[in-house]
Amino acid sequence: MKITFTLNDETLTMDVEEDIRLLDFLRDELGLTGTKEGCGEGECGACTVIIDGKAVNSCLVLLPEIDGSEITTIEGLSKNGELDPIQKAFIEEGAVQCGFCTPGMIMSTKALLDRKVNPSDEEIMEAIEGNLCRCTGYYKILQAIRTAAENLRKANE
């Protein structure tokens, strides 16, 4: 099956198998290994990518579903060797422990901050509720998201 989609700002047209998950395609076919497989059932958020502005578990998406879509992975956030402000905030606030959940957590944060520049703590928690972290207790992650939001607001003033 032939599909066309935009991945990290690059338009691609490819022949793909209809029963391949987006997660496997990204990792195995395109070498984009920042997206992680945790549970494979859409419960942990490690495989989160952004599809058409929405945070989505890529383990639950089959390739035909992305035809015509715009997809952003963790690899698509940095520009010209410069980390995204969200990535910087996660590092500055010590919100990266083992790092396994970090790409998915950052992608969920990106989807939130793209639509809401000044989210409440409740909105932040709701945005990342599908992302599990076994290391941090979430305090530093929440602080990193607050810091990223503040930095993005300042940059847009």
How many Cβ atoms from other residues are within 10 Å of residue 125's Cβ? 14
Q: What is the mean pLDDT of residues 119-126?
A: 97
Reported as a single tens digit per residue, the pLDDT across 3-33 is: 999 999 999 999 999 999 999 999 999 999 9
Residue spans of the domains in the chain: they are 2-76, 85-155
pLDDT per residue as tens digits for the range 39-96: 999 999 999 999 999 999 999 999 999 999 999 999 999 999 999 999 999 999 999 9
Query: 125 and 142 in contact (C-beta within 8 Å)?
Result: yes
Taking the C-alpha atoms of residue 18 and residue 29, their distance in angstroms, rounded to an integer, is: 14
Give the model's pLDDT for residue 39.
Answer: 96
Topology classification of domain 85-155: DNA polymerase; domain 1 (1.10.150)
Q: Are 6 and 69 in contact (CB under 8 A)?
A: yes
Please give the helix or strand (H or E) that residue 84 lies within, else none. Answer: none
> For the whole model, what pTM was predicted?
0.96
Per the CATH hierarchy, to which homologous superfamily does domain 2-76 belong? Answer: Beta-grasp domain (3.10.20.30)
